[in-house]
Structure 1
């Protein structure tokens, strides 16, 4: 592999990583215009494993906006990113598949003087399918595989004697 090819691979890796980060920030900030803009025109997302829907980016963005209204405080932590490059139209490096683990604490707005406390925490793995486009790397598929969730602790029921 030549130094030029290695540099191009590093640049693509950084660009793909930036899309994943922009995705997390868009969801956390409720920036649904940016969320939709991260996808190709035919891009789709599948949140069914987390109790959600599957559909095009616009439909899923609308569902997320409504579903996440109860949790205005969100913070995706996306780690362990593994990138695999693919081939499209006989050219190398036009596709990428990123698998990444996530932990996602969410909570109601902070009350009083203190910070918000997570009411709900879930974790799992994302599978991001990406395409190189004229506008740069874009998502053409997002699949969420939720592996666990922790709901808020409920107060113990009073003991009746």
Structure 2
């Protein structure tokens, strides 16, 4: 399969978008998320115990919730994108080690997550229209954090 320059550009731009998202989360610069999403985007992280909500509501949630985790990383890979003009869908793997303060020290756990994304091109740049987490697996996940 031969890709056009536009198809190569779209895929690289989408890959850069999901990488910038991971960087924003790991720097805890949550207010910057608004630069990556459309105004009416929906974020659904119910699979990992977070809400389904707007970007601004997620920023508020993350500012509080992520304070529980002094160290974490979001490694994104296995990016799969399907572009159709100015819209696209994606599926992205995330390997997510997290450290949490617990009585007597810290506990490290790992989440395996899939992000299922919808994208839209707005003013010649790609943005998330929606982002949903699908839980895949976990290791050493704290019972107190398990979704109901």
**What range describes the TM-score normalised by the shorter chain of this pair?**
0.7 to 0.9
1:104 Cα deviation (Å)?
0.3
Q: Which residue of 1 aligns with 2:89?
A: 97
Distance in 1, Cα, partners of 2:27 & 2:135: 21
In structure 1, the gaps of 5 or more residues are 87-92, 110-116, 154-161
User: How many Å separate the matches in 1 of 2:8 and 2:130?
Assistant: 22
Equivalent positions of 1:2-151 (< 5 A) are 6-86=4-84, 93-108=85-100, 119-134=108-123, 136-151=125-140
Per the alignment, do residues 152 and 143 of structure 1 end up closer, same or farther by CA in structure 2, a change over 3 Å counting?
A: closer
In angstroms, what is the RMSD of aligned CA positions?
2.4
Deviation at residue 118 of structure 1 after TM alignment:
6.3
* Structure index of larger Rg: 1
Q: Counterpart of 1:66 in 2: which secondary structure?
A: helix
- Using the alignment, how far apart are the partners of 1:82 and 1:31 within structure 2? 26
Aligned partner of 1:158 in structure 2 is none
> Structure 2 CA distance, aligned partners of 1:72 and 1:58?
22
Runs of 5+ consecutive residues of structure 2 not aligned to the other structure: 143-148
Aligned residues, how many?
140
| C-alpha distance in structure 2 between counterparts of 1:74 and 1:64, whole Å | 13
TM-score scaled by length of structure 1: 0.78
